[in-house]
C-alpha cells in the first residue's frame, strides 16, 4: 500500500516537471518530402513504320471527293424557248499592247561635228510671214502677170521681193523666182560677208531698177534687156546700220576691197554682172541678171 502511494507520488512529480518545461521541438509532424517524378527516358527502339494505305481506300476517297465537288446542275446550257430573242453579244474591250520597240526611244544618228567655218558662218534666217518662191529667206508677194508692152517683154509667175536674207530692199524688185533666189544667195554669201562689221553691217540694199520693158542700154532697136523679162536687178549702193552708205559711183575707187569683193561674189549666182569697168552705162550701179551663156558667167 505504501509502495503504491510512493509510485503515485513519483508519477505526479514527473508530470509536473513535464508541464513546467516546454518541449525542445514542436510536437507537430514534419512534412514529407515528395520525390521528383522519374525522368522519361526516350526509347532507343525505332518507331514503327506507318502502315501503307491500301489502293482501294485511295480510290474510294477520290471518288467521294469528286462526287462532292461535282455540280448539281448539268453544264449544258438550258435550251432557249422558241420565239425568244437572242441575247446581244458582249462587248469585248480592245486592249492595245505596246511592243518593246514602240516604247523604246527613237535613236537618231549622231550629229556631224561642225568645223570652225560652220560655227562662224551666218545663221540662216528664220521663216517669216510673206515668204515667196518656197524660200523663207525671200520676203515679198506674188504679182499678176505683166503683159508684154512690146514683143519680147512680159513677166509670168513674178514676185515683188521686199527683202532677202533678212536685208530689206529700198524698193520692191519685180522679178521671177530664179532671179529672186540668185539675189538672196548673192546678198547672203557675198555682200554681207564683204561689208562685215563696217558701219555696223549691211542694213539695206539700194535697188534702182528691176522689171522694165526696154531694149538693152535703152538703145532703140536693140535686143530686149533682161530687165524686160524680170531676170535683172540694178543695185546702186548699200546702206549700213549706222546710216552711212556705200555707193558704186562714189566708192568703187575709195572702198576698193569691199566693192570689188561685192562685184566678184555676184559672178556665179548670176550669169551677167556689169559694173564700172564694163562700159559707161554702168558707172553708178551693178547690173546683175540670170541669163546663162555657154562659156559661163559674163562678169565685167
Residue at 174 is within a domain: yes
Range 11-23 average pLDDT: 48
Residue at 12 is within a domain: no
CA distance 89 to 185: 68
pLDDT band for position 201 (cuts 50, 70, 90): very high
Residue at 27 is within a domain: no
**Grid coordinates 536685208 are at which residue?**
167
Residues 6+ apart with CB under 8 A from 273: 263, 266, 267, 286, 287, 288, 297, 298, 299, 300
Answer yes or no: is pLDDT of 25 > 70: no
Interval 99-119: pLDDT, tens = 444 445 555 555 545 554 444
Q: Give this prediction's pTM.
A: 0.58
Residue at 287 is within a domain: yes
Q: Which domain holds residue 293?
A: 132-299
Total of domains in the chain = 1
Residue at 222 is within a domain: yes
The answer to whether 172 and 162 are in contact (CB under 8 A) is yes
Interval 146-167: pLDDT, tens = 998 888 899 999 999 999 999 9
What pLDDT is stored for residue 222 in this prediction?
A: 83
Residue at 73 is within a domain: no
Residue at 74 is within a domain: no
Residue at 44 is within a domain: no
Amino acid at each position: 500500500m505504501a509502495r503504491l502511494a510512493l509510485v503515485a507520488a513519483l508519477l505526479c512529480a514527473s508530470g509536473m516537471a513535464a508541464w513546467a518545461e516546454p518541449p525542445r521541438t514542436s510536437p507537430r509532424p514534419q512534412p514529407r518530402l515528395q520525390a521528383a517524378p522519374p525522368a522519361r527516358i526516350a526509347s532507343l527502339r525505332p518507331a514503327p513504320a506507318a502502315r501503307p494505305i491500301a489502293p482501294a481506300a485511295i480510290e474510294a476517297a477520290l471518288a467521294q471527293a469528286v462526287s462532292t465537288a461535282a455540280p448539281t446542275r448539268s453544264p449544258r446550257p438550258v435550251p432557249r424557248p422558241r420565239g425568244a430573242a437572242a441575247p446581244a453579244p458582249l462587248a469585248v474591250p480592245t486592249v492595245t499592247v505596246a511592243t518593246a520597240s514602240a516604247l523604246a526611244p527613237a535613236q537618231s544618228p549622231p550629229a556631224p561635228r561642225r568645223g570652225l567655218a560652220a560655227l562662224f558662218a551666218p545663221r540662216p534666217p528664220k521663216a517669216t510671214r510673206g515668204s515667196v518662191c518656197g524660200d523663207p529667206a525671200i520676203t515679198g508677194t506674188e504679182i499678176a502677170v505683166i503683159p508684154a508692152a512690146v514683143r519680147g517683154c512680159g513677166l509670168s509667175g513674178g514676185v515683188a521681193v521686199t527683202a532677202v536674207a533678212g536685208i530689206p530692199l529700198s524698193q520692191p524688185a519685180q522679178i521671177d523666182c530664179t532671179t529672186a533666189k540668185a539675189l538672196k544667195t548673192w546678198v547672203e554669201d557675198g555682200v554681207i560677208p564683204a561689208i562685215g562689221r563696217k558701219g555696223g553691217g549691211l542694213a539695206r540694199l539700194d535697188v534702182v531698177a528691176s522689171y522694165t520693158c526696154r531694149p538693152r542700154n535703152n538703145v532703140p532697136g536693140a535686143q530686149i534687156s533682161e530687165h524686160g523679162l524680170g531676170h535683172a536687178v540694178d543695185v546702186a549702193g548699200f546702206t549700213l546700220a549706222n546710216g552711212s552708205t556705200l555707193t558704186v559711183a562714189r566708192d568703187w575707187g575709195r572702198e576698193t576691197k569691199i566693192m570689188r569683193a561685192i562685184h566678184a561674189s555676184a559672178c556665179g549666182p548670176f550669169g551677167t554682172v556689169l559694173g564700172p569697168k564694163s562700159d559707161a552705162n554702168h558707172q553708178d550701179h551693178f547690173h546683175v541678171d540670170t541669163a546663162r551663156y555657154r562659156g559661163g558667167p559674163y562678169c565685167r
